[in-house]
Structure formats: structure tokens, C-alpha cells
Amino acid sequence: MARFQKGQSGNPKGRPRKDRHAATGSAFDIILEKRLTVRQGSKQRELTVEEALEQRTYQDALKGGKAARTAVLKMILRRERAKAKQRPAQSPIDVKIERVDPENADAVLQVLGIAAPDKTWTESKPGDRQRLLLEPWAVKAALARRRTSVSQHDLLDLKRSTRDDGSIKWPRPEAS
């Protein structure tokens, strides 16, 4: 014989009702959803407790509070992650390879003040690019960043390609 008769429930009292507070979350969540009237300047606004706390944290961060700055950065990070999840997946990036125009690069070097036209160069043919000389400040910066020694050959090329005003302290070439 079966434990329950056909058509009779195994739980005659039924499923117990859910706790009203358990459905909405913790007590803290309930407090955060409460609404406050906040005065900002001469205007009054209605905010949730959570929004009011965020506003206060922003103000404290602007005043230089280290903990508030950390909290704001975490809020920003959470917001960016949530936005990233909502964004549609991006299609792959199409790469278009174009021929490099060396004259365009020369123009950029001149605009940035890294190189200047060599006014002493006269051996040009029609259609030749203008010869450029590197500015001393750019050469000094490059030499300061180098991690390896410079060969005698490279050093001669560098000196020949620099508008040298004598202010550059040239490195000693590596021993060959």
C-alpha cells in the first residue's frame, strides 16, 4: 500500500509563505531603498539613501579623503563593468594597411620641431626629397634613453644627420 492515497498531497498544509523581508533582501537593502529629501543649494531633491551616501562620498573624495577616493574609484569600476556587460559584442576591427608616404613623415618631424631642412644641401635632383637634419634637443633625448652602446659607424651617421651646435656631449663609441 502506498504512503499517500491517489490525489492526496504529501504536504496538506501547502508550501509555507515566503518571509516578506527575505524577498526584498537584507535589512541593509531595505534601508538603502528608503527615500530622503535632500537640499542641494536652494533646491530640494528626493533621493534614495544609497544615492545620498554616494553623493556624500563624492564630496568627501573631492575634499581629499583617501578612503572616499578609493570608494569612488570602486564605484566607477563597478559601473564600467556593468556597462560593458550591457554593450553588444563588438565586431572585429578591420585593419587597412596603406602605403607610407615618407614626405608626410618628414612634414610631421618638421612640425614637431624634431628636424629642420638642411639649408647647406645643394645636391638634389628634381623629385628628390628635401634633406632634413635632426635638432640637437631630439638627439640629446634619444642618447639619454639609449640602453646600448653606439658603434663608431652609427655615431658618424648620427653626427652627420644632426644640426649640431656643439652642445651635444657625444658618447664614446663602442670598441670594435
Q: How many CB atoms lie within 10 A of CB 143?
A: 15
The three cell numbers locating residue 160: 652627420
pLDDT at 174: 76
Per-residue DSSP letter, 170: P
Query: CB within 8 A of 3, min separation 6: which ones?
Result: 10
pLDDT at 67: 92
Average pLDDT rounded to a whole number, residues 125-132 = 79
**pLDDT tens-digit series, residues 2-13:** 676 777 767 777
Q: What are phi and psi of 165, to 5 degrees?
A: -105, 15
Q: In 6-127, which ranges are continuous DSSP H helix?
A: 20-24, 27-33, 49-62, 66-86, 102-111
∠ at Cα 115 (109, 120), nearest 5°?
135
Q: Is the per-residue pLDDT at 24 higher than 70?
A: no
Q: What predicted TM-score, i.e. pTM, was given to this entire model? A: 0.40
Per-residue DSSP letter, 91: P
Q: Is the per-residue pLDDT at 21 higher than 60?
A: no
Burial of 139: CB neighbours in 10 Å, binned 0-12, 13-18, 19+? buried
Q: What mean pLDDT, rounded, does the chain reach?
A: 81
More confident residue, 17 or 62: 62
Average pLDDT rounded to a whole number, residues 104-118 = 86
Q: Is the per-residue pLDDT at 113 higher than 60?
A: yes
Buried-state track 109-123, b at ≥16 Cβ within 10 A, e below 16: beeeebbeeeeeeee
Gap between the terminal Cα atoms of the chain? 103
**pLDDT tens-digit series, residues 78-97:** 888 888 888 877 777 777 77
- Identify residue 121 by its one-letter amino acid code: W
